[in-house]
Amino acid sequence: MGYISRIKEEIAVIRQRDPAIHSNMEVFLYPSFKVMIHYRLAHKMYLKKRYFLARWISQRAARKTGIEIHPGAQIGKGFFIDHGNGVIIGETTIIGDNVTLYQGVTLGGTGKEQGKRHPTIGNNVMISAGAKVLGSFKIGDNSKIGAGSVVLEEVPENSTVVGVPGRVVKRNNVSLPQEEMDQVHLPDPVKEDIAQLQKTNTELTNRMIELENEIKKMRQQSHKE
């Protein structure tokens, strides 16, 4: 894909994902646009083993945008970073198509691995603000990572992850349409567990009251006899 075509693609992606953008000219001011243009160039230099130049380009972009993408990372089409300040993407990260990241996301390693140290992100994945995905495992296609979650193990396709550490909630293995890829409508397994405990506690309490009443009746009958 040529340079002009790449710019047009980046503009189209940002305008599609961010309703705050009102014109193509605004896109040129957007951190996601700036960092991706720098990343594509840095990645080319990295593949040519011009590592210093690649890092110089990527670090220059990081200073300008607050988004740090290692030039060795592999990023597919339709990639979008909303706001983006504090986003970090490690060297061996692989990102599929139509992925959305929000501010403060880290795609990093644990510091204990060699070779492939960073996560692989599938297609049509959304990772919400402040989430941390650490390690060389895969986030399956059509998955959502909730805000502030810390993901330390593989996530199946069509799943939602919330919490610290991240807990997987299946979504009936149905692909998520683009309009559902938001940070708000996420299940809360902790809340569901508490609700279940409250229900169980109520049932046990009611059963105890019934047993106490039965015992009272039995005692009253024995006294009469």
Q: State the DSSP string of 87-116.
A: -EE-TT-EE-SS-EEETT-EEE--SS--SS
115-121 LR contacts (CB < 8 Å, sep 24+): 116/92, 117/90, 117/91, 117/92, 118/73, 118/89, 118/90, 118/91, 118/92, 118/93, 118/94, 119/93, 119/94, 119/151, 120/93, 120/94, 120/95, 121/93, 121/94, 121/95, 121/96
Assessment of whether the complete model's pTM goes beyond 0.85: no
Instruction: Collapse the DSSP code of 126 into the 3-class scheme (helix H, G, I; strand E, B; otherwise coil) and give the result.
Output: strand
pLDDT digits (tens), the chain, 225 positions = 566 777 777 787 887 777 777 778 888 888 888 898 899 999 999 999 999 999 999 999 999 999 999 999 999 988 988 887 899 999 999 999 999 999 899 999 887 777 889 999 999 999 999 999 999 999 999 999 988 899 998 999 888 888 888 787 766 555 445 445 555 555 566 666 777 788 888 888 888 888 888 888 777 777 766
Residue 70: exposure state from Cβ atoms within 10 A (0-12, 13-18, ≥19): buried
Instruction: Specify the fold of 3-187.
Output: UDP N-Acetylglucosamine Acyltransferase; domain 1 (2.160.10)
Residue type, 205: T
Query: How much is the pLDDT for 179?
Result: 46
Beta bridge partners of 17: none
pLDDT at 187: 59
Q: Provide the pLDDT for residue 39.
A: 93
The residue assigned the tokens 């990639």 is 79
Tokens of 194: 């508490």
Per-residue pLDDT, 45: 95
The CB density around residue 132, as the number of other CB atoms within 10 Å, is: 20
13 and 30 Cβ atoms separated by less than 8 Å: no
Distance between CA 104 and CA 94 in Å, rounded? 18
- How many whole angstroms separate alpha carbon 166 and alpha carbon 3? 39
